[in-house]
Chain A
Amino acid sequence: ELKVEQNPLFLSMQEGKNYTIYCNYSTTSDRLYWYRQDPGKSLESLFVLLSNGAVKQEGRLMASLDTKARLSTLHITAAVHDLSATYFCAVDLTGTASKLTFGTGTRLQVTL
């Protein structure tokens, strides 16, 4: 059974600081997804990482994937309050659309 773990579960950080969220998964996969969820809302797609060594950046967020270590990171640079949300990583297993298994989520709170 595929398991996806994130840490930390909760992160409170000051504006302007940097931090990294980690996502570990238990079974070989070449595809990893990052999503953002605001309170009461559905998921917003942030990144899709499709191969070992993939790195993607959008604004203050950068995601990377190491398939050998079964690890993905979401790095936050110079956090701003608008980044406050819950972030989920998710993994699917096969070459075609397969069910996503979500991580536990990281609730990020950026304080002034």
Chain B
Amino acid sequence: GAVVSQHPSWVICKSGTSVKIECRSLDFQATTMFWYRQFPKQSLMLMATSNEGSKATYEQGVEKDKFLINHASLTLSTLTVTSAHPEDSSFYICSASGRSYGYTFGSGTRLTVV
């Protein structure tokens, strides 16, 4: 079945630094990738949608200059949290979709900003 690899699984960084999270589709071409954010005991909130070779489409209220998304190939998308602050601490999950219906989720990245 379709597999999406997400790294790192967890990361701790200092306030003001940047963190990059990678999401790779291992056995299919991901024409569209999605980035979600999840706070404890809450649902997943979509942050942005990216198509290969295009600029990401951000959801309302998501700062595109803070959450940089790059989808340079059909198998790789990255999310960079710039100038991270403690309020950015969260669980980030990517999802990829290929030509057929369905979504495959990465294993998630727990970000803690201290």
Contacts from A to B (Cβ < 8 Å): 31, 33, 35, 40-43, 45, 48, 50, 88, 96-97, 99-105, 107
Contact = CB atoms under 8 A, between A and B. Distances in A.
The B interface is mostly helix, strand or loop, or mixed, namely strand
Interface of B: 6, 31-32, 34, 41-46, 49, 93, 95, 97-98, 101-108, 110
A48 B93 CA distance: 20
Contacts of A99: 34, 46, 49
Contact of B101 (A41, A42, A48): A48
Given A40-B110, A42-B107, A42-B108, 14 more contacts: A31-B101, A41-B107, A42-B6, A43-B93, A45-B103, A48-B101, A97-B31, A97-B102, A97-B103, A99-B34, A99-B49, A103-B43, A104-B43, A107-B41
Contacts, number: 48
10 contacts: A41-B107, A42-B6, A45-B105, A88-B44, A96-B101, A97-B31, A99-B46, A99-B49, A100-B46, A100-B103
Contacts of A107: 41
B97 A102 contact: no
